[in-house]
Chain A
Amino acid sequence: MTALVIAEHDNASIRPATLNTVTAAAQCGGDVHVLVAGLNAGAAAQAASQIAGVAKIIHVDGAHFEHGLAENMAAQVIALASSYSHILFPATASGKNIAPRVAALLDVGQISDITKVDAVDTFERPIYAGNAIAIVQSLDAIKVITVRTTGFDAAAATGGSAAVDTVTGVADSGKSTFVGSEIAKSDRPELTAAKIIVSGGRALGSAEKFNEVMTPLADKLGAALGASRAAVDAGYAPNDWQVGQTGKIVAPQLYIAAGISGAIQHLAGMKDSKVIVAINKDAEAPIFSVADYGLEADLFTAVPELVAAL
Chain B
Amino acid sequence: MKVLVPVKRVVDYNVKVRVKSDGTGVDIANVKMSMNPFDEIAVEEATRLKEKGVVTEVIAVSCGVAQCQETLRTAMAIGADRAILVETAEELQPLAVAKLLKALVEKEQPQLVILGKQAIDDDCNQTGQMLAALLGWPQATFASKVDVADGKAVVMREVDGGMETLSLSLPAIITTDLRLNEPRYVTLPNIMKAKKKQLDNFKPEDLGVDVKPRLKTLKVSEPPKRSAGIKVPDVATLVDKLRNEAKVI
Contacts and interface: CB of A to CB of B under 8 A. Distances in A.
Contacts of B196: none
A63 to B, nearest CB: 15
A17 to B, nearest CB: 9
A265 interface: yes
B142 A132 contact: no
A110 B124 CA distance: 8
A226 B107 CA distance: 45
A55 interface: no
Q: Is the interface of B mostly helix, strand, loop or mixed?
A: mixed
B220 A132 contact: yes
Nearest to A264: B16
Given A183-B161, A221-B249, A253-B248, A104 B129 contact: yes
B221 interface: yes
B216 A69 contact: no
Interface in A144-197: 173-184, 190, 192, 196
Given A110-B124, A178-B164, A240 B158 contact: yes
B130 A127 contact: no
B89 to A, nearest CB: 20
A131 to B, nearest CB: 5
Interface stretch (A22-30, A36-44, A95-103): A95-103
B238 A277 contact: yes
Main secondary structure of the interface of A (DSSP, over half): mixed
Contacts of A221: 249
A302 B235 contact: yes
**Tier of interface size on chain A:** 35 or more
Interface in B154-174: 154, 158-169, 172
Contacts of B127: 100
Contacts of A274: 246, 248
A132 B123 contact: no
Nearest to A137: B216
B160 A112 contact: no
Interface residues of B, number: 79
A264 B16 CA distance: 8
Nearest to A173: B138
A216 interface: no
A70 B120 contact: no
Nearest to B243: A310
A275 B164 contact: no
Interface stretch (A80-88, A205-213, A287-295): A287-295
B13 interface: yes
B207 interface: no
A128 B17 contact: yes
B148 interface: no
Given A134-B219, A138-B214, A306-B239, A101 B161 contact: no
A253 B249 CA distance: 9
A62 interface: no
Contact of B19 (A132, A181, A290): A132
A175 B169 contact: yes
Contacts of A219: none
A132 B228 contact: no
Contact of B160 (A94, A111, A229): A94
Contacts of A309: 235-236, 239
A133 interface: yes
8 contacts: A132-B17, A175-B169, A183-B163, A190-B161, A274-B246, A276-B229, A290-B226, A293-B241
List the 6 closest pairs (A to B, CB-CB), nearest first. A109-B214, A100-B129, A292-B229, A104-B130, A175-B138, A104-B133
